[in-house]
Amino acid sequence: MEDNMLAEQRREAILRELEERGSVSVMDLSEKLGVSDMTIRRDLEALSKKRLLKKVHGGAVPVPKTAREPHFEYKRRLNRAEKAAIARAALPMIEDGDTVALSAGTTTWHIASLLRRASRELTFITNSTNIALTLQENGWEQIVLSGGIFRTPSDALVGPFAERTLRTLNADILFLGVHGIHPEAGLTTPNIAEAETDRCLVEAAQKVIVVADNTKLGVVALAKIASLKEVDVLITDSGASPEMLREIELAGVEVVVAETDEDELARAN
């Protein structure tokens, strides 16, 4: 029987190749990953059923998208080791009794996945159904879900209902995932509605911590969430550009660089 863990790692590698090259072939993947053509075809079929790629003759291409960002399930597989490292660095920043806000996103989801119910008491606010369900599965009870319009590809709840709820709430700490962070453009996302919802989360929080892997640094997307003046801390990974980090620090943001576990990185690659 095929090892499920090996299959998962191999399929993540296929998605990374697709992200980097724009298309993949069965022959090239078979050679690079050291498995048979038949195994690669099964992998492509499995990924195709999840709508993470589109099979074509001899290989695969990305799924055509009307949005300018990939789906949550796709993004969750990218830079997984880096996101896990960022999540681990975020946990010590949460204190007993805190109200913790988590924006929709895959890095913030990683934080939620590591938060296990212990003796401490925490209350959570989120506009992500994925995060709310993960927190519930981990034993947490005090979870406020914003409500609103369910929007893919990030699976965020947005719109007037979400904004109305968030404007009535206060959080001690916010972990905010973004599409881009730039010294001048600030925090940005491709979706205008999600930018406004994230803006409400920023206004509700006493402390704003942006969690973003190195691929988000220097990126500017369509809609602005907030300026760097409104950010207290950035947690990123060791692949981040030192020059970019210096510019972000000069804007008044504390920078925390999370060291990626080498074994975890090797498994992801």
Structural domain 4-64, CATH architecture:
Orthogonal Bundle (1.10)
**255: which strand partners?**
234
CATH of the structural domain 75-268, one choice from 3.40.50.1370, 3.40.50.12500, 3.40.50.1360, 3.40.630.10:
3.40.50.1360
Residue 73 scores a pLDDT above 50: yes
Q: What is the pLDDT of residue 9?
A: 84
pLDDT of 66: 41
Structural domain boundaries of the chain? 4-64, 75-268
Question: What pTM does this model have?
Answer: 0.72
Q: Record the tokens describing residue 263, joined without a space.
A: 């074994």
Q: Which of 17-21, 75-79, 101-105, 227-231 is the least confident region?
A: 75-79
Distance of CA 188 to the CA centre of its chain: 14
**CB 127, CB 166: distance < 8 Å:** yes
